[in-house]
Amino acid sequence: MKTFRQYIEFIDDQSKHLEFLVLNELNKLGLEYSIYEHPPLRTVEESKALRGEMHGGHTKNLFLRDKKKKNYLITVNENQKIDLKFLENEFSTGRLSFGSPERLSQFLGVKPGAVSPLALLNDKHNNVSFFIDHNLLSENILNFHPLVNHLTVSIKVTDFKYFLKSQNKFYNEIYFWFFVNILIKSSILTLQRLILEPNKY
């Protein structure tokens, strides 16, 4: 685990490192976070194997598109199973598919394996609809890649919401309903809301 000052000590040219787009923005907003360095991670399984001392909620992030070329970023708990056909029905989008690497780069400025809500920083024209697992918002800390998959940023949920608000981003909560550990209804309620957390700064 490193602070920003400890991490930047070994960087000669920030312009060659995508992560500084996010890190500098978090610094500008006065938000606290920790940085973890690790080998490049492309899957949840690889992440679990190198978890180490990273606490808090760990995520699975999907970049999707529909037939009308509308983009979706879905962030859920790393263990949550996602059925695209179910999402199609709940969102009334028609067929959903994974966005191509080119489309991912165009709209979020990242490569496959580095998909993250922090990449919404690059969605200047609000071309991506963001959905997040409601249960993740009950965590104290969330972990995301800062545009590159060899780093993980740990940030408080309240600060993550503040980051989204600073980027004028809406989020949609996804609710997965369970009873006695048995899925009785795979129902997703999308509640679009503008983040109105009290400004504590």
pLDDT of residue 125 exceeding 90: yes
Spell out a b/e string for 69-92, using b for 16 or more CB atoms within 10 Å of the CB, else e.
Answer: eebbbbbbebeeeeeeeebbeebe
Residue 52, pLDDT score: 67
Q: What percent of the chain has pLDDT over 70?
A: 76
3 vs 118, which has greater pLDDT?
Answer: 118
Note the pTM of the prediction, 2 decimals: 0.80
Could you give all domains of the chain from N- to C-terminal order, each with its CATH number? 4-194 (3.90.960.10)
Portion of the chain with pLDDT greater than 90, in percent: 53
The answer to whether the beta carbons of residues 20 and 35 sit under 8 Å apart is no
Find the angle CA(197)-CA(148)-CA(37) to the nearest 5 degrees: 95
Task: Check whether 180 has a pLDDT greater than 60.
Answer: no
The DSSP code for 2 is B
Do residues 113 and 149 touch, judged by C-beta distance below 8 A?
A: yes
Per-residue model confidence (pLDDT) at position 187: 41
Q: What pLDDT sits at residue 49?
A: 66
Condensed to tens digits (0 to 9), the pLDDT of residues 134-173 reads: 999 999 999 999 999 899 999 999 999 999 999 999 898 8
Residue 26 is predicted with a pLDDT of: 96
CA dihedral of 11, 12, 18, 24, whole degrees rounded to 10: 70
